[in-house]
Amino acid sequence: MDEFSIDQVLAEVAVLVKPHFGKGRPADYIPQLATVPGSKFGMAVCTLDGGEHVIGDADEPFSVQSITKVFALGLALNRFGDEVWTRVGKEPSGTPFNHLSQLEAEGGVPRNPFINAGALAITDHLLETVRDPAALVRGFAGFLADAPVQIDEAVAASELAHAHQNRAIAHLMRGRGTISHDPEAVVAAYCRQCALTMSCRQLARALLPLAAGGFSPVIQETIFPERLTRRLNALLLTCGIYDSVGSFAYRVGLPAKSGVGGGIVAVVPGKAVICVWSPELDRFGTSVVGTAALEAFSQLTNCSVL
């Protein structure tokens, strides 16, 4: 992927995705997110050699939502190691990200850290060492992106006001002993974490360590051990897109994480990180245009890992 060809590819992708606008709808169960125009589209590619290639609204901050789960999990694994896996599994769920009956049937242990139950368990873990896990995640993401990033308090309040399913999940896990803190405190911290705002360029920069064996070319520091980086990418490939992860792997073939704010980050190991944003979602909670853009990019560059 040379620099000239990446710019050409992004221009071609922007044309190819036009028929996909209007096929989804924003996350209207979080009212603040429903106000974002569906026509928004940005894409950024950050390469290990320092190249940055953008198109559209790639520098406009948006609500990162569940993509923050990658930062939170990385922090937890760096701090607690394999102890994390005593509270949460590593298997695809095959169910929606806020599913409750599966969690109850399986004794209150979440299938993986990227569904909401798993993310709440990670937040509970972080509460053992910090009073404000959302601020920790914000600081970590900003450090990796080498840029100040913010939490949108209006989005956080909107999300918390409608977090009934997440409250039910947290109370179930508290009853089963999976989490140890007050469920309301855990949900509040999680909602603030999800309200982090970043741009496509910032997200691609921040997650470059996943493409570089744990090393950040942006800040010139090792963030994760190489072994941990491989495991994070494996989890992204098998669990990062919820119950449509198989379809996404079939179409795109890259480790990735989506968020209901319309963002998707995909890792090309050894080469680059790609972030795309478009707020209209499919029925699984993943950006329609974003998935189409990554599929087109993968096909045009032959960068799939599968």
**Known binding-site residue numbers:** 66, 116, 159, 166, 190, 242, 260
Closest residue by Cα to residue 273 from 249, 292, 248, 255:
255
Q: What letter would DSSP give residue 83?
A: G
Q: CA 296 to CA 265: how far, in whole Å? A: 15
**DSSP states along 184-218:** HHHHHHHHHHHTEEE-HHHHHHHTGGGTTTTEETT
- The structure tokens listed for 219 are 């800040």
Closest residue by Cα to residue 36 from 23, 50, 44, 25:
25
For 53, the 3-state DSSP assignment is strand
- The structure tokens listed for 181 are 């803190």
Closest residue by Cα to residue 263 from 281, 278, 251:
278
Q: CA 18 to CA 221: how far, in whole Å? A: 39
Angle between helices 183-194 and 153-161 (to 10 degrees): 140
Q: Which residues are annotated as a binding site for substrate?
A: 66, 116, 159, 166, 190, 242, 260
Q: CA 295 to CA 17: how far, in whole Å? A: 10
Residue 146, sorted as left (phi over 0), alpha (psi -120 to 50) or beta, turns out to be: left
Residue 175, sorted as left (phi over 0), alpha (psi -120 to 50) or beta, turns out to be: alpha
